[in-house]
């Protein structure tokens, strides 16, 4: 039996917790405000606290700060139905044990209560919910379970300076994760320096990272401060770390071990004061097996590893992300579009998003730019290719003529079916061939003659597209192949 404090201004929630805790053999303590919760803690010393964020007077976060100041080993579980990532990060720093989103289920509470009672001290995992879509700048948006888990780990990393390795596909937002860790840590007032290791030419990367002395090489007319030095006491984000050459990997390993580096052309060591966060979309373990990445550097970097999930693994967040990018695009493009019709949202949810969050951002921005009305419709959501023109009257008449020809051919086949039983098969294949030809021709017309784009539009492999496309008369006369050898040709 343990005393468990529940601080929430909603009577129904307190009553439900009270009944559950009593049934589990514990003693419930109920508070309707943060101030009352602190009084109960001082008087009755509960073993665990369930604390709501939104309460009148002293907020849940203010109460959490006071609890951690007065009784730092008391596990506090934060509860909320909504919030922001910044709120979550603040709670992480304050030392919350865990986080529950309302409504909560009893098995979840039971498991969490058992862990909290066994732990006996603050462990500090806490997720966040969707960020305000109207927030300025680039922020992480998410309320899905996988993002909750990511936010928990991010919050833990705001309290220390451990080296972090971020993994995940291109476009998932690894730099945003790095920035969020920096912005919510004690280094937030210091520089955040990002370097895309894949974007810097090989012959310039050392100078870019470490700086150089005057005369160190041809063209080095002045001393230059590198990114390691510019980061100072802030955070240095090394994006696409897997693109570094093995030579530079060796230098980086030594720098991380010795916490110092030299400018190119100098032997004077410079102290590395910045926190290092690296990121990659490659499988570094596979790169190690292939001899392209140093194993010792990998283990030095992966002191803490965070996997940023792809968008297809967090489809619950697509709507919130879409509205966030809608608000950002409105500000950037000077538009006034504030709604997305349900069918358009469903189309967004069903897409596989190989480009992840970055692809969704570009899709929404393009839709806002080209939209004619005040609401984004299905017609505005161009996902897989540039905007396609609508069927014109000629195409519609062509389809109608083909449909009528098919009906006439089938009627004729039925009339002669008793004497020519194989005619139906001939009619079928003939009409299918005609339909295929019309579809291929229309897809080519809609894609501006780009055969690769037309194949994608029809959902066909380019080889299948090549086999089904009829050669033009000019191609037949010149004996040219039906499809160009270069798949990018039109």
CB atoms within 10 A of CB 290: 9
What per-residue confidence (pLDDT) applies to 444?
A: 73
Q: In the 8-state DSSP scheme, what is residue 234?
A: S
Q: How far is CA 308 from CA 105, 109, 376, 438, in A?
A: 27, 27, 29, 44
In terms of pLDDT, which residue wins out, 269 or 223?
269
Question: Tens digit of pLDDT for each residue in 69-110?
Answer: 888 778 888 887 665 666 666 766 678 888 777 777 777 888
In terms of pLDDT, which residue wins out, 204 or 322?
322
In terms of pLDDT, which residue wins out, 283 or 452?
283
Residue 121: pLDDT above 50?
no
In terms of pLDDT, which residue wins out, 315 or 115?
315
What per-residue confidence (pLDDT) applies to 122?
A: 33
Please tell me the total number of residues recorded for the chain in this structure: 490
Return mean pLDDT, the chain.
80
CA–CA dist 334, 330 (Å, integer): 5
Section 19-27 average pLDDT: 90
Residue 170: pLDDT above 90?
yes
Question: Tens digit of pLDDT for each residue in 406-419?
Answer: 656 656 666 555 44
Residue 128: pLDDT above 80?
no
CA–CA dist 236, 178 (Å, integer): 9
79: Cβ contacts below 8 Å, ≥ 6 apart: 8, 50, 51, 52, 53, 60, 99, 100, 101, 102, 104
What per-residue confidence (pLDDT) applies to 68?
A: 84
CA–CA dist 21, 6 (Å, integer): 10
Structural domains in the chain plus CATH codes? 3-131 (3.40.50.2300), 160-309 (3.40.50.300), 312-380 (1.10.8.60), 398-478 (1.10.10)
What per-residue confidence (pLDDT) applies to 401?
A: 54
Q: What is the pTM of this model?
A: 0.56
């Amino acid at each position: 039996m343990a005393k468990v404090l529940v601080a929430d201004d909603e009577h129904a929630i307190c009553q439900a917790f009270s009944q559950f805790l009593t049934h589990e053999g514990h003693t419930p303590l109920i508070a309707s405000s943060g101030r009352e919760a602190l009084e109960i803690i001082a008087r009755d010393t509960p073993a665990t606290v369930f604390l709501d964020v939104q309460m009148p007077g002293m907020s849940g976060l203010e109460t959490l700060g006071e609890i951690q100041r007065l009784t730092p080993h008391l596990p506090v579980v934060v509860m909320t139905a909504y919030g922001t990532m910044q709120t979550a990060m603040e709670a992480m720093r304050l030392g919350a044990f865990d986080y529950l989103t309302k409504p909560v289920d009893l098995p979840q509470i039971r498991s969490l209560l058992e862990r909290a009672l066994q732990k006996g001290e603050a462990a500090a995992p806490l997720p966040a919910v969707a960020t305000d879509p109207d927030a300025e700048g680039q922020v992480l948006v998410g309320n899905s379970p996988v993002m909750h888990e990511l936010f928990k780990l991010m919050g833990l990393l705001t309290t220390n300076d451990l080296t972090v390795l971020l993994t995940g596909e291109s476009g998932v937002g690894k730099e945003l994760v790095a920035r969020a860790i920096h912005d919510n840590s004690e280094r937030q007032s210091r520089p955040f320096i990002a370097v895309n290791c894949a974007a810097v030419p090989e012959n310039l990367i050392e100078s870019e990272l470490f700086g150089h002395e005057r005369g160190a090489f041809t063209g080095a007319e002045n001393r230059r401060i590198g990114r390691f030095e510019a980061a100072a006491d802030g955070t240095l984000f090394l994006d696409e770390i897997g693109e570094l050459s093995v030579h530079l990997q060796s230098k980086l390993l030594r720098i991380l071990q010795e916490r110092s580096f030299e400018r190119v052309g100098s032997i004077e060591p410079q102290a590395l004061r910045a926190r290092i966060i690296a990121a990659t979309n490659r499988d570094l373990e596979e790169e190690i097996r292939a001899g392209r990445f140093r194993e010792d550097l990998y283990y030095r970097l992966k002191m803490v590893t965070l996997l940023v999930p792809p968008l297809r693994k967090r489809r619950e967040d697509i709507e919130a992300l879409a509205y966030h990018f809608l608000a950002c695009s409105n500000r950037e493009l000077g538009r006034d579009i504030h709604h997305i019709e349900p069918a358009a949202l469903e189309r967004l949810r069903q897409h596989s998003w190989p480009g992840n969050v970055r692809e969704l951002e570009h899709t929404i921005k393009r839709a806002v730019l080209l939209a004619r009305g005040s609401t984004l419709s299905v017609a505005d959501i161009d996902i897989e290719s540039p905007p396609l023109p609508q069927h014109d009257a000629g195409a519609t008449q062509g389809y109608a003529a083909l449909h009528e020809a098919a009906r006439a051919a089938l009627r004729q086949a039925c009339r002669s079916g008793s004497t020519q039983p194989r005619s139906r098969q001939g009619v079928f294949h003939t009409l299918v061939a005609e339909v295929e030809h019309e579809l291929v021709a229309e897809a080519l017309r809609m894609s501006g003659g780009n055969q690769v784009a037309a194949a994608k539009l029809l959902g066909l492999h380019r080889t299948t597209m090549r086999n089904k496309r009829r050669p033009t008369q000019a191609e037949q006369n010149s004996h040219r192949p039906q499809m160009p050898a270069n798949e990018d040709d039109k």
